Amino acid sequence: MHPQPEENDVDRVFHALADATRRAMLERLSQGPVSVSQLAEPLGMTLAAVVQHVQVLEQARLVHTEKVGRVRTCRLEPAGLDAARRWLDARRTPWEQALDRLAQVVKP
């Protein structure tokens, strides 16, 4: 059985978010667009390693990059989190209902 396109999107987002370096990059990008080299400065890693992380974020649709001349600029794509948000929301209601039932059982 092959995953549905939505499942692939969810997998890519959670894979991207699973890495602390990529989460740090997203935090930085939440302050505004920056070049890849600026993104690399505080991370203490090679530019090539940063580019690999950025590519994972792009595949997850969390970041968009644009090259102008010799500078590649990254910007946050908040809509990329929509697939993960929908997946979490779909599971929230059953959990909330189960917790409500449990609360009724243990209620004095």
Return the SS3 of 46: coil
Distance CA 84, CA 77 (A): 13
* Mean pLDDT, residues 75-104: 83
Q: What pTM did the predictor assign?
A: 0.78
Q: Work out the percent of the chain whose per-residue pLDDT is above 70.
A: 93
Give Dmax over CA atoms of the chain in angstroms.
69
CATH of the domain at 26: 1.10.10.10
Comparing 101 with 72, which gets the higher pLDDT?
72
Full residue range of the structural domain in which residue 65 is found: 5-106
* pLDDT over 50 (residue 2): no
Q: How many domains does the chain have?
A: 1
* Two tokens, residue 73: 């600029």
**Helix then strand then coil, % of the chain, to nearest 5:** 70, 15, 20
* pLDDT over 70 (residue 66): yes
CA angle 29, 67, 8 (to 5 degrees): 60
* pLDDT over 80 (residue 100): no
